[in-house]
Structure 1
Amino acid sequence: MNITCISTHRYLDTPEFLTIALHINTIMSTPVYIFGIFIILTKTPEQMKTVKWCLVNVHGWIILFDYSVSIMTMPFLLLPAFGGYPLGILKYFGVPTFVQTMSVMIIFGWMWASTVLVFENRFYIICTVQVKNRWKKMRRKWMFCHYSYVFVLAIPCYWFVPDQEQAVQKIFESLPCLPGYIYEAPVFVLTENCVYHLSVIVIFIAICSIEVLIMVFYMSYTIVHQLKGKTVSRKTFEMQKNFLVALLMQVLIPLTMIVIPVIPWLFLIITYTYIQSIVNFTIIIATSHGSVATIVMLIVHRPYREAILLMIRKKPIGSVNNSRRIMYAARNALSDINN
C-alpha cells in the first residue's frame, strides 16, 4: 500500500461531488414522489381499484430504495473491488456498514418482488375461474415466499465478509494510487469472492422476470380468447389491453435506470479497472430510478394522465371539448359568410 504516492483525481471522483449530487437528486425527486402517491390515492378510478394498493406498495418500495441509497447510505464504492464506505446519515447513528449494505440489497429485492405482485394482481383478476380457484389456495404463500427468500438469501452474505484489515490492504495494493482521504476512510470490504452475491441477484431477477413473462403471456391469451368468445365487450378488452401495456411500460422504461449502471460496473469488474467518476455517476443514475418510475406511471396510465391534465387546465375536459366545438362552429360560420 503506497500512501505516499501522488494521486491525480478530479472533483467528479470525490465524495463531495457524490454527496451534493445525491442531495440535489433527493430534493428534486421528493415532490415527484409525494405527487405520485397523491395521484394514486385520490385519482385512481373505480375500474383500477383492485390494483390501487399494489401500485401504492410498489411505489413505496421504489421510494424506500432510492432513499436508502441517496440519503441513508450514500455508498462511495471502490469498484472493481467490492469495497467502499458510506456517506449517508446512518453512519452518524453508528449503523455498521455491513448492515447498511444488506439493508439496501434487501430493499432492492423487495422492490422487485412488489413489482411482480402488481402483475400477479392483474393475473388473478383476469384468469379463468378454474385457474383462480387453484391459484387462490397458494397465492398468499407465493407472495410470502418472494419477500422471505430475499431476506433468507441475504443471511449467508455475513459468512463471506473477510478479515477487514487484510482485505482493505489487498484493495489498496490492487488499485492505483488513491487520494489520501480514501486511505483514511473506514473502508469496508463486503467480499473477496462475489460469485454468491452476483448469482443470488441474477437468479432472483431472472425468476421474477420469468414469472412476469408467464403472467403477461397468460393474460394476453386470456383476454384475446374472451374477446373471441364474446364473453367480454370490445371496450373491456381495450381497457384490459391498455392497462397491461401501461404496466409493462411502467416497469420497463424505469428499468433502464438500473440497467445503465450495471453495464459499466460489469466492465469495471471484468477488466478490473478503477474509474471513480464513472462509479459516482452510475450511482446517481440508479437513484433517479424512482422519480423516472413515478413520472412514467403518471404518463402511461390514462386516468392519471387525464387527472393531471384536468388539474393543469383547471376545468373539465368536456368544457374544453365544448369550447373547441364552438370555436370550430364559429370558424365555419365565418367561412360561409365570406363565401
Structure 2
Amino acid sequence: MTSALEKYYATNYSQCNLEYNFLASWKGVAYPSHIIQLISLPFQILAFYVIIFKTPISMKNVKTSLLINHLFCALLDLFLCTVCTVYFFLPMYGMFFVGVLSWFEVPNGVQLLIVWLSMTFAAASYVYVFESRNSTLVQNKFRMTQRRTRVIFYSLFLIPCLLAVFVGKVIPEDQDAAKLFALIEYPCPTREFFTSEVLILFADKTIIEGVVRFFPFGCAYISSFFLFQVATLIYYICIAPSNTTSRDTQQKQKVFLICILLQTSIPLFLGMCPIMLTFMAFLTGHYYQEMANLTFCSLGLHGMAESIAIVTVHRPYRKAINQMITDLKKRKSSIRVSPISVHGTSNSVTRG
C-alpha cells in the first residue's frame, strides 16, 4: 500500500467496524469454487464420454455442436472455479484473482482477458447448438449454407471481445489514485481491498455511467443472436414444418427441440439470474460483498448443471447411463458370487 492508502486504512477504515465474514472474504469464493470444480469434474467427463461414444446415428448431425458447447462450458467452469477464480468488488469496479494463476503471479489483466474470452466463447457455443440444428432444416430460409455467411454471423456476435480491448485502454494507469477514487464511492470494502493486488477497472464517473448504461444493451445484443436462432428453429419445426417431412420425423424433431431447450436453458438460467439480481441490487443501493461472491460461486455451478442436463434430457444418453449402471451392478454381483462358487467346487472335489 502507498502512504495515502495506509493513512486511509489506519484512520477512515477503522471507523467502518466491519466484522470478519467468511462468505465475504476471499476464502468465501475460492474454497466453494474449488469444491464445485471437484464435484463437477466427474459429470463433465461423463458428458464427454456419452457425447463422443454414445451419440446415436439419429443425433449425428448435432454431435459436433453438442461437443463444442460442452467443451467451452467445461473450460469456462475450469477457469472460473480453479484457474482464474474471481473476487469482484462491484461498487468499486475492482477485482483480484485467487485461482491457480495467481500463485504464479500472472497479472490481473491477463486473467481478466482469459475469463472474458471463456465466457464469450461459451455463449457463442450455445448459439452454435441452435444454429447448426437450423442449418439442417431444408425449409429454413435463414439457414447458413455458406462459410462466409457463418463467419460474418459469428464475427458480429464476437464484438464484445473487441470491446474488451477497449476496456483495457481505459483501465487507469495510476492504480493508487484509482483506489482512492473507489474508496470515495464505497468507503468500507472488505479488508481484501487493502491486503491484495486489486485491479480497478474504472475511475471516472463518465465512464462508469457509460458502462452501466451499456450493460443492458450488451446483454440484449448477445441475447438477440441466441433468441433469433431459437425462434427460427421453433417456427420451422412447430409452426411451419416441411410438407415433405413425415409425421414421425416431425415428432422426433419436436422432441429433440424440447431437449436442447431444456439442456441450454437450465445452465443459462443458473448463470444469468444471479448476475442480474446482483446488478439490480447494486443499482438500487442494496449491494453486499457476499452477493458478489455467491454470484461467482453460482457461475461455477454452470458447468455441472450443463453436464447433468446433457446426460438426462436426451433419451439416448439416459439409456447409455442406465446401461452403464446395470453393467456395473452385474460386475459387482459376479465378483461377489465367484468366490462362493469356487469354494463350493473345491469342497466337492475334496469329498470326492
Same fold (TM over 0.5): yes
Match of 2:188 in 1: 177
Match of 1:56 in 2: 67
**Letter paired with 1:157:** V
How is 1:157-176 mapped onto 2 (pairs within 5 angstroms)? Answer: 157-162=167-172, 163-176=174-187
Match of 1:16 in 2: 27
How is 1:212-291 mapped onto 2 (pairs within 5 angstroms)? Answer: 212-224=226-238, 229=243, 231-291=244-304
Answer yes or no: is 1:314 the counterpart of 2:324: no
Secondary structure of 1:209 counterpart: helix
Could you tell me how far apart the structure 2 residues matched to 1:135 and 1:58 are?
20
Secondary structure of 1:251 counterpart: helix
Q: CA deviation at 1:151?
A: 2.6
Q: 1:179–1:149: structure 2 CA closer, same or farther, 3 Å change rule?
A: closer
Secondary structure of 1:157 counterpart: helix
CA contact (8 A) 2:24 2:293 kept: yes
Could you tell me how far apart the structure 2 residues matched to 1:156 and 1:314 are?
55
Q: CA deviation at 1:259?
A: 2.2
> 4, 20, 28: which one pairs with 2:14?
4
Q: Which runs of 5+ in 2 are unaligned?
A: 1-7, 329-352
The number of residues matched between the two structures is 313
Q: CA deviation at 1:78?
A: 1.6
Q: Cα RMSD (Å) of the superposition?
A: 2.5
**Letter paired with 1:149:** I
Q: CA deviation at 1:299?
A: 1.2
Q: CA deviation at 1:200?
A: 5.9
Q: CA deviation at 1:70?
A: 1.1
CA contact (8 A) 1:65 1:111 kept: yes
**Letter paired with 1:145:** S
CA contact (8 A) 2:76 2:122 kept: yes
Could you tell me how far apart the structure 2 residues matched to 1:15 and 1:225 are?
50
Taking structure 2 as the reference length, the TM-score comes to 0.80
Could you tell me how far apart the structure 1 residues matched to 2:189 and 2:239 are?
62
Identity %: 27
Q: 1:314–1:166: structure 2 CA closer, same or farther, 3 Å change rule?
A: same
Q: Which runs of 5+ in 1 are unaligned?
A: 316-339
CA contact (8 A) 1:106 1:150 kept: no
Taking structure 1 as the reference length, the TM-score comes to 0.83
> 184, 200, 210: which one pairs with 2:224?
210
Secondary structure of 2:278 counterpart: helix
Could you tell me how far apart the structure 2 residues matched to 1:248 and 1:55 are?
13
Deviations 1:130-180 (A, max 9, x none): 765x74253332355156534322110112212311111122343243454
**Letter paired with 1:32:** F
> 96, 117, 138: which one pairs with 1:106?
117
Answer yes or no: is 1:136 the counterpart of 2:149: no
Could you tell me how far apart the structure 1 residues matched to 2:28 and 2:240 are?
55
